[in-house]
Each structure stands twice: as C-alpha cells, then as structure tokens.
Homo-oligomer: A and B are copies of this chain.
Amino acid sequence: MLHNFNAGPSVLPPAVFQQASEAVLNYNNSGLSILEIGHRTPEFTAIMEEAASLVKELMQLSSDHEVLFLHGGASTQFMQVPMNLLDSKETAAYADTGVWSSKAIKEAQLFGKVDVVCTGKETNYQYIPKDFAVPNDARYFHITTNNTIFGTQWKKIPATSNVMVADMSSDIFSRMLDFSSFGLIYAGAQKNLGPAGVSLIIVNKNILGKTKRIIPTIMDYRHHIKEGSMLNTPPVFAVYVCLLTLRWLKEQGGIPEMEKRNEIKASLLYHAIDESNLFQTTVSKEDRSFMNVCFTLKDAALEKPFLEYAKNNGIIGIKGHRLSGGFRASLYNALPLESVQVLTGLMKSFEELSA
C-alpha cells in the first residue's frame, strides 16, 4: 500500500482511477475509447454539462457565475486574468504570499499597473499578511488562497469592496467559502479536481467586457462562456476525470464533508509535529495550510535518513520544495486519513529509533 503525498499532480480517489481506466478502453459501453470520441457528440457534451453543473451545485454559485473548463494551467491564468480585466492605465491589487503570487504579479505587470498591497517575502512567506489596505479604485484584488510551496493558507478571505480574484489551485473544493462573492476563481485541476491539463475558471459574467483591450479569441472568457467551454476542442479526457472526481465529491457529502476530513487530517499531522522533539514547522500557527503541511527536522542531518525510512514504508512525495526545504505532506481531498496515520506513526517510530 502506497501513501501518495504528492503536491500535484496528486492522488485522486481509487474509484476515479478505476472508472477512468475503463473509459480509456470502452466509454460507457459505447465500444469506443473516451480518447477517440468527438467533442461535439452527445456523449461528450453531456460530460461537459454535468461537470459544469456539479461545480455550480457543490460551490452554491449564483446565477451570475459561469463555469469554464479551459486548456492550460494556472500559469496561463496569470496572463489571461489581467488581459481580460485590466486596462493598461488601471491598477490591480495583488497580495504577495509566495512563489505563485509573485508569478501572477509579474504577468499582470505586462497589462496594467500592479499595486502589491502586502508581502510575506521578508520572512520567506511563513505567514499571511493581515495588516494592509486595498485601494478602492483597484480594478480587482488578487490573492492565492493556499500557498503550496510554503504551506500557508488564507483562513479568512479579506473583506474589501474590490472585485476579488483568487487562485485556488491547491485548495479548491477543500473547504466551504462564499464562492459567489468572488469575481473570478481559477484553479489548475491537478490537485483536488483531476489530472494535469485543464483549469477550472469560475467567473461572474458582470465583470467581463469592461476593458478596451482587443483580446485574442482563445483568451477571451466571453467566447468560452458563449460556447460552453467548447470554443475549440477541449481536453476531453481531463474534463471527464474532473467529472468523475466531482461525482465522487458529491457522493461523499460535498465540500463541507471534505472540509471536516481535511481538518482532521491536518490537525493530526500538525499535532504530531508540535508534540515531536525532532520535527518542527516554522509556518505561522494561525496561517497553517490544511492542504500542504511543510515541516523540517531540527537536526538537518536526519532529513535523508527520515526520507529513506518513510519511503521504505510506502510514503511517496514528502520531499519539500527546494525553496522551503525539509518536508511537505500534501493532504488533498482524496488522501485518506489512514495515510496521515501511517505518516505520523512513522514520525513517532523514527523519533524513538533516533533517541
């Protein structure tokens, strides 16, 4: 039994792997692979419609919010968001809470003015800034709700009068938020939603069409809305796997149930770290991510032996990102509690062995 703590692409429910595997051979008893079905067929349009409709239902979205499944990852959205929302003389506000925020800021600067209203850079992004103001005239305010590399998370979405834009790539569907209060939400699928190769975009249609910029057709959200995410051939298989995961999510009890489970998993692991004499985390306590738990060994010389020990006991993907070092355990929706129990058990026994 393997326990997959990968930061993304990452674990999905076993039932999703099973159904996806069958569909590659024979989709829904059609005699055809899901990979060879035309995207304009009733078979696939039903998949796309059900996926979008499940997102609306699970997130309790307002009727103003449109759901899109588009090519590319969040990195494409770093460009596509300002291209659609920001005129060259306007200002957008961004919170800088890590690597992905910084990349989003860099791309936005190509399209307009960017006001970085707060940053956690001076502490290597170990906390979420609390004390900052967003100018009223900022066209939108962009946050990265969960910072995969540094293990911090916005526990409370800041209340501003601005249009809120959020990169939720690594915590979408993990906790209930007032999703309809956002102007635009985007997320690469490869953590809580599906395989790499598709992004989910949720946009309040009322914020679109306000820039004077001429937008290339494939980058204009309005065209994708009009065509129901079928402006061009969509990433058929990736969308299908997202649908399977969304169905699983609903069966399990939806986002509130995921939130409960994620809280239990994260608390168990943070508790093990806090209790330990060997392990530690430098992430600000109130900002600890429930998705990506970053921690280190007080004695760096023990890192390699622990990684080996964990690996030999079925633990996959806990090596930390090079920018934060140490370890990172990603506890996405599909990771079972059992995997966290195995990991914390190994941390304890490693501590005993090292004593």
Contacts and interface: CB of A to CB of B under 8 A. Distances in A.
A142 interface: no
Interface in A289-324: 316-317
Copies of this chain present: 2
B110 A214 contact: yes
Contact of A217 (B37, B79, B234, B235): B79
Given A11-B36, A36-B10, A107 B237 contact: no
Give the bracket for the number of chain A residues in contact with chain B.
35 or more
Question: 10 smallest A-B Cβ distances: which pairs?
Answer: A197-B235, A75-B232, A21-B24, A79-B216, A71-B72, A35-B195, A196-B236, A21-B25, A17-B33, A196-B233
Given A107-B217, A237-B238, A238-B197, A25 B36 contact: no
A44 B12 CA distance: 18
A237 B4 contact: no
B216 A38 contact: no
A4 B35 CA distance: 12
A61 interface: no
Contact of A25 (B6, B18, B190, B236): B18
Given A107-B217, A110-B216, 18 more contacts: A2-B32, A7-B38, A8-B233, A9-B37, A9-B38, A9-B39, A10-B38, A12-B36, A17-B25, A72-B72, A73-B232, A76-B232, A78-B218, A79-B216, A195-B237, A196-B234, A197-B235, A237-B237
Contacts of A18: 25
A157 interface: no
Residue in A22, A188, A238 whose Cβ sees the most chain B Cβ within 10 Å: A238
Contacts of A22: 21
A76 B218 contact: yes
Interface in A229-288: 231-238, 241
Nearest to A108: B216
Nearest to A111: B216
Contacts of A10: 36, 38
A36 B6 contact: yes
B35 A9 contact: yes
